[in-house]
Amino acid sequence: MSTPDRRSLPLFAILGVVVVLAVVWVGVKFQRPSTPEAWAEPGVPAAVEGRTVTHAQGTTVVPLNPRRVIVFDLVALDILQALEVDVLGVAGDQFPDHLAKYRDAKYARMGTLFEPDYEAIHAVRPDLIITGGRSSAKYANLSRLAPTVDLPMSGKDYLATVVANTELLAGIFGKEAKARTLVEELRKSIATLKGTTAGRGRGLVVLVTGGRMSAYGPGSRFGVIHDDFGVPVAAEGLSASLHGEVIGAEFIREKNPDWLFVIDRDAAMGQQEGGARQVLGNELVHQTSAWQKGQVVYLDPGTSYLVGGGIQSVKHMRDQVAAAYAQAR
């Protein structure tokens, strides 16, 4: 290769300027509001006393009554809100409606669920960090900064996991009584729902994103619908993989479910709603009994997709499904 031609310089110069401007524009537009007042307060010196908590990635000594809590998991945030525990910092900028208060700038931003802002975390000197789900992979790094507990989330034993996570967090913050009430309420309401779903036909869970569909079965991240809500399975043998199984409209018609539970992932991520309706509204799906009986349930994308496993979001999902069954009666 010889040296670049002189004529090529303007082209590259213009390209470079365009790229730099684009990056600067995005940087300015999406700069997160910093909250110096939240950070300025010096941290409470680490408590000497603590209790040992066993969680998904080992055991951690957590100081008694942690006050400076950073949460890297929407499920944990959902549970903490239900337990009436306040937090110092949160991650990301996607919060479903029932967690809307965390959009407020008074909650310090600690990076995203996938990329923690380690410097910001270090600066606020937290008593406790909570990871789980999307941030579980960052547990090792975060646990070096402060005591960290990781909440497990898997589709297996869905309800049991929700209860275990609630009890784990309740134990840390001394909210056992509150947790008992919440869990009891949830169990009771789910048992009621289970009584109605069994004889009302088979269901299929479909997630729609980018114009493509995938199906989920029992034991998957949306398995709660079959496993705990008791909706009979329309398609046997669906594996429990994270992203489901790619399907087409033919598959839905062939399985002919009586109930379709739809998760519009793009809507969960802040895009315009209605993409899922467009994809599903086709001639083959129109022939299923779910469509003909008007038994297509568009689950609240925020709670079902973003916060699958939070005690409030499970309750919300239950209520939505129960309402659909009551309406169809």
Chain residues binding other proteins by CB under 8 A are: 1-2, 4-5, 7-8, 11, 19, 22, 26, 30, 94, 209-213, 215, 245-251, 253-254, 265-266, 269-272, 279, 282-284, 287
With respect to other proteins, which residue has the nearer C-beta, 143 or 282?
282
Least Å from the CB of residue 272 to other proteins: 4
> How far lies 5's CA from each of 2, 9, 11, 19, 296, in Å?
9, 7, 11, 22, 62
Residue 149 has what DSSP assignment? E
With respect to other proteins, which residue has the nearer C-beta, 62 or 215?
215
Least Å from the CB of residue 252 to other proteins: 8
With respect to other proteins, which residue has the nearer C-beta, 269 or 323?
269
Report whether 259 contacts 295 (CB < 8 A): yes
Residue 92 to residue 110: CA distance in whole angstroms: 8
Report whether 101 contacts 86 (CB < 8 A): no
With respect to other proteins, which residue has the nearer C-beta, 52 or 272?
272
Taking alpha carbons only, the member of 98, 106, 148 closest to residue 127 is 148
With respect to other proteins, which residue has the nearer C-beta, 125 or 253?
253
Residue 55, C-beta contacts closer than 8 angstroms, at least 6 positions apart:
149, 150, 151, 152, 168
With respect to other proteins, which residue has the nearer C-beta, 222 or 325?
222
Mode of pairing for the β-strands spanning 148-151 and 89-90:
unpaired
Exposed/middle/buried for 86, CB within 10 Å: 0-12, 13-18, 19+? Answer: exposed
With respect to other proteins, which residue has the nearer C-beta, 196 or 282?
282
What is the helix (H) or strand (E) element at residue 253, kind and residue range? helix 249-255
With respect to other proteins, which residue has the nearer C-beta, 245 or 319?
245
Least Å from the CB of residue 41 to other proteins: 31
Least Å from the CB of residue 203 to other proteins: 17
Least Å from the CB of residue 268 to other proteins: 9
Residue 214 to residue 1: CA distance in whole angstroms: 49
Least Å from the CB of residue 135 to other proteins: 15
Read off φ and ψ for residue 42, nearest 5 degrees.
-65, 145
Residue 109 to residue 312: CA distance in whole angstroms: 23
Least Å from the CB of residue 240 to other proteins: 13
DSSP readout, 273-306?
TTHHHHHH-STTGGGSHHHHTT-EEE--HIIIII
Least Å from the CB of residue 214 to other proteins: 8
Report whether 283 contacts 300 (CB < 8 A): no
